[in-house]
Structures are given as structure tokens and as C-alpha cells.
Amino acid sequence: MTEDASGPPANTAPEASTPASGSTSGGPGTPPRRGLRGLDREIINSITHGSPAVVTILAIFLALVIGALIIAFSDTTVLHQFNSFFAAPGAAISAAWHAVADAYSALFEGAIFNPHTVSAAFHGGSVGAIFYPLSETAAQATPLILTGLSVALAFRAGLFNIGAASQWIGGAIVVTWLGFGVSLPPVIHVIVCLIGGFIGGAVLGWIVGDLKARTGAHEVIVTIMLNYIMYNMLSYLLGTHAALQQPGQSNLTSPNIAANAQLPHVGGPPPQVGVGFLVAIAAAAGLWWLLERSTIGFEFRTVGANPSAARTAGMSVPRTWVLAMLIAGGIAGLSGAVAIQGQFLSLNFQSYGTFGFDGITVALLGRAKPLGVVLAALLFGALNTGGTNMQAATSVPVDISKVIEGLIVLFVAAPMLIRLLFRLRSTHGGGMEAVAKGWNG
Amino acid sequence: MELELRGITKRFGSLVANDHIDLTVQPGEILGLLGENGAGKTTLMNVLYGLAQPDSGEIRIDGKPVVIHSPKDAINAKIGMVHQHFMLVPVFSVAENVALGVEHLRTIWLGRMTIGGRSFPGIPIPTTLFDRQRARRQVRELSERYGLRVDPDAMIEDLPVGVQQRVEIIKALLRQANVLILDEPTAVLTPGETEDLFRVMRELREGGRSIVFISHKLKEVQSIADKITVIRRGQVVGERPPTATDAELAALMVGRAVELRVTKEEATPGDVVLDVKNLTVSGGILPTETDPGRNVVDDVTFQVRAGEILGIAGVQGNGQTELCEAIMGLRPAMGAVHLAGRDVSYATPRDRLRAGIAYIPEDRHEDGIVADFSVADNLILDTYDRPPNASGFAMNLPAIRKGATSLVDEFDVRTSSIDTPVGTLSGGNQQKVILAREVGRKVRLLLASQPTRGLDVGSIEFVHRRLVRERDSGVAVIIVSSELDEIYALSDRIAVMYEGKIMAFRPPTVPVTELGLLMAGADPKASDTEELAEEVEALYDRPQADDESPPGADPPVDGPQRSSE
């Protein structure tokens, strides 16, 4: 209590300086207790109680503006024009405008909708082609939705799941093995693989939750370490013939999974919606129900918002941690499953990608809510798909779309900046708080 | 300087926090601003200090209207404010904190010398160095003039709260404040510190400064103010001299006659409901050669019967918190706890709740509510998975909302809706939510720890009545309180705790002196305790309603914290 500057003195009586007096909490006058747990709660609060949607939209806008500046000033033609800016300012500006417009329209056409496909459809082209960009975006978003949900669920229970990457690997290893090593009839094989993926991730999540519940090990440290372990484990398994390595190969790659285990697509090629996407949407809906409408979710949310009150109300906080991490891990494992079964068909370091870590940003952007996560993942999917198209159509590298993604999250995380720039009035913290904040407020 | 507020109105959305408030503070006057939590006292002072802009009305100083847009304007207008939460840098010294924002820079006098009795001042060279000596001197001067007793070199983080508050006062004085606003200053103070503050306030008044003293505690306002203005729901509802009675002020504050002491019938105790045998909670420190270790709850044995209220009195920090947590199963303990004949010594907190214990935890914010959750969700915190709130894993929202609506009505929770986050309610209404949740289900034992701490008069009345009503309906009730008024008002039997032990059981007719002695760990029968008895009596006769007194309200007033000054 002594380091608590504005708290009341622990005790004034000399004989009362027992351990008891040290552990008694202050009166209502004490400010919220600090310490690591308090900090955790503050961070999670700021994520889930973030800013209104308008801030997110403005953050996306601002990120696109900055992205535009980077595009314009990394373009050699534009730079050349700017050398003679004072001689012909119009030319320089129009060159910049063209560079940006070309890049962004390519981004948009690649991710969402290409007007040329409509006119092509009228002239005998494929109607399906109109929806091709959207289907690509959905495919790109699918694993992200699931890893985002995994991180979001943990957030809601007050846990930082930095380990979606390791859980993804856990799921993917099980799925790959079940995919090529086992022979099962069509539909059953797919389902067995999905369940296997869930279990693979869930085991890793359970390890984290159980360690925290039993020993108090902080989940951030445990998950980061498990990320290293699983990454190198993957490398080992992919390099061992007795394990996952494709026979006759020296590359770190597994054989393709059996056709029966592959996730089918709905709607004929080329525009197609993978069943994996439907699985991800179903997982989001299920998770919403779990969090908002079930008693388990009520426990998760209570433990996340105030573990002391949860304990006092008779909930088992450690049990909740274990269960939350188990489900979170399972969903990340499911992400590995749909990525392997629906997209990559074999496991290697290219399919491993960065889904686990992108899941954290997606969960942040989606404010740890299932619908928000789906929307955020779709946005990232669109930026990824569009970025590839942008690189193909213009000379702008695909990395620009990654920069934009990073900027969006940065601005969402710094809502004050957005408020200042766009002169928004704060809805929190202003007047109402001043009224409600009596001494007991 | 005379300060006048004319027709100040401040709205937040549809809520009128201040409604045409008129207020005058004369020089050398202490104005007591009395009102319940949420009455608009703090908002009014924020308007005065430039932290909020009034929608209409004006502020006049010596008859001249002034515009205050920011705290800076307020400081220029010689208005100073001491907030509920101090604005100090913990790792800076007192002098540094006081000078913060009004630092004087050092000037080096080049060539200053004395030759033959004549002194040459030299050439002043301005620097950008902080003039620490000057700040220390100023702190020392002010603290001597007003008896503030603060060491300018002490680190803020090492100082007790009462001294930190004095630093805030010095800060305001250094900025030449003629009007000092003290926002609920006693809330964080021990009784001894409150006395010190009052002494300082009187000194300041002698020095011609005016003070606005904001509080919801009747006795404090009566004892220090020259004039009492009562605010209710944003309006000035009356001005009274400090001689006004408790009942009159309370009625003005709440808007109706208030029962300051709950009326109750004689108890009719029934069967034993709670039977605690040899309950012991270890202090968590292993015994060493020099320190045998100490149990925070030490071999406590007692029984509570249906239909009686057992009051557990004691100075905060003598094991009451741990005793409650041990009874709830929230803290490992040795010994036995039987509830209505059933052994629950090894039961989980949930099992004990389900067996019929209702628990009102001492730390409301930390253990009692989830501030971000709605009123409805807080009302089902321990019954969320039982019918009718849930069937299987699915929660039954309509039933939950229906239950919440009826509980909110029954317990008179003032909230705009059952979806309002509970953290935005006043302390009294939060406590009503907890009370509603706990006794809303069928209970055998009600364990209430500091049930009215920090609540205003109206809420205290409600909580007390409800506790007595539970007793009358046959519930065994335990009240843990460091508030003697509360112990006397409610208890049918009083147990006194000291250093983890129950010192004695007494009937509620026990004299306050005896109770005070027991709370200080002395045996009232012994002969050498007369002096202590006088001290105790003096302490508890003090005009104070320290219903928010933090741990440390211990009889020996000159405890070690004084030494740090």
C-alpha cells in the first residue's frame, strides 16, 4: 500500500502492522488497484470499449490517405515530375493523382468489383467473373476470421492469446496427418479432419490455460514460447520422412491431403465460395451465441471484466481460463484446418503464413466482437487480394496493402489522434462522467 | 474577496446537473455545500473551476462578472481547488510538486560582492534552472503561517494521504487562492487527519480566505461551516446556519424526513443458522525465529441464530475482512463452519452461496459488481445459470429482464434502465443492486461487510431498513462495521474483534467507552486503563461521521504516520 500514492495509510496503530492490515483493501477512496492484472484489465477494456464505428471508418480513410502519399512519392514518374514542380506544378500533381488513382482502382478491382467484368458479361463473357474478386477476398479472409475469433474470445475472458500461431500449427499438423495418412469416405473425412484440427489447437490452448490456472504463469509468455516451440516442431516434422515430409522430397513440405479430405467449393469455378468460409462464418455465429447468450459466455465475460467479482459470485476463475483457452486454441486450430483443407492442400512454411499474428490485429480492429472480427478479416482479406492485383496492374508493391493494414490498426488504437484530426466530440469521459463521478461514482 | 454564483445552469443531455444555482461566499467564511452523491455539488465546483462550462448563469467576483474557461482562468481569478483525487507527482518532492507550473527560474548574480561594507548586487544572468531553494522557502513559509506542517523535501509517495492533501492546499495557496474549494476532502482521511484538516481550515479562515467545503456528511459540515447550503437534484433547496439539526439537514438533503437511526422491534432469535468453530486464517507469513507468525483470524468461535443481527465491531484491519472471506470459502481457513446444521467447511464459494448465504462484500467495486455490466447482468451474477435465468447452457433473456425489472422496483434502484452499466450509478444505487441480488433469492444467512460505507444518508437509511427486514423475516444477519453508530443502530448482539480474535460479546446497551476499549484490545475491567478510556471516549465523541473512513481509524491518534511529517 505504501507505493499507492493516493491510497489511505495502511494502518496507524503500531501494533496493527500485521500481515492482515497489509492485505486489507482500501476503502472506496482507494483508486483502482494497479499492478499487472490491473494493467491487463485496462488494456482489454480499451480494446472492447473502443471507439465508435465512425472512428474505425475514419481510421481506414486516414490510412488510405497516407498509403496514397507513400504510393505517390515512391513512384519514379511522380518524383521526376516533382523535380520540376515549380516549373509545372500541375503536371506533378496530376502525375501523383494518376499514380494513386491507378493503384487504388486496381486494389478495388482486385478485391471487390471490377466494372470491366460487367461489360464483358454483356458481351458474352462470364457472369460469374463479376463475383470473382469478392470470392477471392472471402477465401483470403477465411483463416483470418478464425484466428481473429480465437484471439477475440480470449480477450473477452481477460486473456491475451498471442499463441494463435502455435495453435494454428497444432491444428494444421493434425489435419495434414489425418488428410494424407488416413483413408475415409468423402464427407466423413472432411468432418474428421475439421474436428482433428480443432482438437490439435485446443490441446495447445489447454496447455496455456492449465498452466495459468495451476501455476499462475502469464499466458502472454507461455503463448509466445509455445509459438517458438511449435514453429520449430513444424520444421522438424516437415523435415522428417517418418513424420509429415513428402516422400522423395528434400523440401520442407508435406504431401497433399487426400481428395476426400479437401473442403469443397460451393458454386462452380471460378467464382466460388469455399466451404471453409461458411465454416468460419458459422464459427463466428456460434461464438456470438456462446459469448452473448450462454451461461459459459457469461462466465467468460464476467471473469474478463472483473475476476474478483466473478470469484465472489461463486464462479471458478481458473476453470474459466482453462475453458476459454481451450476453445480459443480450438478455433485457431480450425483456422489451420480450413487453410490446409480448402486453400493450400499441403502443409509447408508458405501455407503457415502469418495467420496467427494477423489474428491479433483482426481481433483488435474488430474490437473482440464476433461480427467485428468477421468485418475486419474481410477488410484485411480485401486488402491482401487487392494488393496482389495492384502489384500486377501497376508497379506498386503488394507490401503497400500491408502498410495500410498496419496504419488502420495503429489509428484505431490511437482514437484520440483521430478525434483530434477530425474534431470529433468525445462520447466517453465528457460530461456524463463528471456528473456520475461523485465520491462513490 | 466575495464570490458569487448567479443562476448557474449546467445540462448533460437531458440531465440537469445544476439548475439555476445561486451561491455567495463571503471573505473569511467557510461555506458548507451539502448534498447527496449526484446532487450536482461536484459539477457546480467544476463549473467554478473552469473544468465545465455552464449553459447559463454567471460568476461574479467582488460584484464583477468573470468568465472562467479553464482552470488557468480560475487560478488567475484566485480560485483554488483541491480535488477528490490528488494531482501530485508521486516521485517528486513536496517543493517540486508545489512549484510545478509556476516554477521560478534561478538567476545567477555575476560579480556579486561586498567591498568595504557596500554590497554590489552584480549583474543578473537569467538561467533555465529551476529555483528549488525558492520553492522550498515558499512551502516552509506557507506551512508555518497556516500550521500545515509539511516538509518541503519529502517525497510525495512517502507521505500519508492527509499530508498529501495539505500539499494540495499549499499548491492552491501559493497560487494566491482566496477562495479554496475542497471537494469531499475528508473522504480519504482518518478521523485524526480530519481533525487536522479542520484546524487548518480554521486557520485559513482567520487569514481571511474563504473556503467552499463540499461534503455529504452532516456532522462534518455542522462542525466546520459558517453557513450551510444544501443542494438536491441540482437545485439549492435551502440555506441553514450550522446550528440546524441533523434531522432538518438530512430531510433537506434527501427531500423527505429521514430516519437517522432505524427503528426495530426486539429480536426473536430462533435456531442456530451459522455455527463457526475455531476458525483460523493464517497470516500467510511463515513463522521465523524472531517472528512466530500471526493468524489474521485467530481461533474464532461464534454462533448466529435466525432472526438476530450480530454486529462485529472493530477497527478496520483486525481480521474482519478475512473472517468474512473465510466464512464464504474465498480464503483458506482451518476450523469448522456449519450452516443450518450442514458442514460447509470444505464447500466452494458457489456451494455456500447456494446453501443460502447472501454476501455483501466490503469492497463493492472490486468484489461486488462488474462495473461495465448492465444492472440486469449484475443482478444475476450468482444465479445466471439457474432457472429461471437459464435452462441448460442457454440464458433466458426475457426472464432475466423481468427479474431485473422487479428487483429494481422493489429495491428502489435509481437507474435510467436495467441496461445501464452499473458503474455509472451512484454508490448507494450500486449497493442496492448488490443487496437486491443477494437477498432477492432465498437465503438463510446474510453476511454484510461494511454495508453502508461511503453511502449517503438516504441510502444508508434504505440499507439499514432492509437489513432489519431480513432479520424480521427469519434470516440470520451478520454486520461487520468499523462504524460504531451502525453497530449500535443494528445489532442485537455485538462481538468485538481485535487482532483476529473476538475479544468479547456484549449486548447493544454496552457503553461506548467499554466498546472502544475492547476495540483497542484493552480489558475494560483492568485498572490501568483509565487513561486509555478517556482517550477512546474523546475520540468517539468527536463530531464526525467517518462513514468512509479508510483502514487506520485506530484509537492511538498519534500513530507512526505523524512522524513522517
Contacts of B470 (CB under 8 A, 6+ apart): B439, B443, B446, B477
Chain B, residues 397-436, CB within 8 A of chain A, namely 397, 424-428, 430
Question: pLDDT, tens digit, for every residue of B38-62?
Answer: 788 878 888 888 888 888 888 998 8
Among A301, A309, A436, beta carbon nearest to B368: A309
Longest dimension (CA), chain B: 100
Q: A317-339 and A295-305 helices cross at what angle (nearest 10)? A: 110
| Angstrom distance (rounded) from CA B487 to CA B312 | 7
Environment class of B252 (CB within 10 Å of its CB; exposed 0-12, middle 13-18, buried 19+) = buried
Give the model's pLDDT for residue B177.
87
All cell numbers assigned to B452:
453502508
Contacts of A282 (CB under 8 A, 6+ apart): none
Among B317, B362, B424, beta carbon nearest to A436: B424
CA B400 centroid distance within chain: 33
Contact B371 A32 (CB under 8 A): no
Decide the pairing of beta strands B309-313 and B476-481.
parallel
Partners of B297 in beta bridges: B281
Question: ipTM of this predicted complex?
Answer: 0.78
CB of A312 within 8 A of CB of B330?
A: yes
Selection from A393, A389, A404 nearest residue A133 by Cα: A389
CB of A60 within 8 A of CB of A53?
A: no
User: Is A32 within 8 Å of chain B by CB?
Assistant: yes
Residue B481: strand, helix, or coil: strand
| Angstrom distance (rounded) from CA B450 to CA B281 | 20
Q: Which residue has the cell 445489532?
A: B491
CB of A18 within 8 A of CB of A10?
A: no
Q: Which CATH class is domain A131-386?
A: mainly alpha
- Domain borders along chain A are 131-386
Please give the residue of chain A at the shortest CA–CA distance from B482: A27
Phi and psi at residue B426, in whole multiples of 5°? -70, 165
Give the model's pLDDT for residue B559.
36
Q: Which of the four pLDDT bands, split at 50, 70 and 90, describes residue B160?
A: confident
Contacts of B425 (CB under 8 A, 6+ apart): A436, B375, B413, B414, B415, B433
Phi and psi at residue B463, in whole multiples of 5°? -60, -45
Among B12, B284, B548, beta carbon nearest to A435: B12
CA distance to partner chain A, nearest, from residue B226 (Å): 23
Q: Please, how many CA atoms are within 13 Å of residue B77, restricted to the half-sphere of its CB? A: 26
Selection from B434, B365, B107 nearest residue A30 by Cα: B365
Contacts of B270 (CB under 8 A, 6+ apart): B305, B306, B307, B474
- C-beta atoms surrounding A184 within 10 Å: 16
| Angstrom distance (rounded) from CA A183 to CA A180 | 7
Residue A308: strand, helix, or coil: helix
Decide the pairing of beta strands B295-305 and B272-282.
antiparallel
CA B330 centroid distance within chain: 25
Give the model's pLDDT for residue B261.
79
CA B173 centroid distance within chain: 25
Question: pLDDT, tens digit, for every residue of B444-460?
Answer: 999 999 998 878 888 89
Contacts of A279 (CB under 8 A, 6+ apart): A142, A194, A263, A334, A338
Contact A314 B373 (CB under 8 A): no
Query: A270 preceded by cis ω (within 30°)?
Result: yes
Q: Which of the four pLDDT bands, split at 50, 70 and 90, describes residue B554?
A: very low
Question: pLDDT, tens digit, for every residue of A389-413?
Answer: 888 888 888 888 889 988 988 888 7
pLDDT along chain A (441 residues), means of 10: 38 35 34 49 68 79 91 82 79 86 89 82 76 87 96 94 95 95 92 96 97 93 95 93 84 90 74 84 96 95 94 95 97 95 89 88 90 94 90 86 89 75 56 32 29
Contacts of B189 (CB under 8 A, 6+ apart): B161, B162, B165, B197, B549, B550
pTM: 0.76
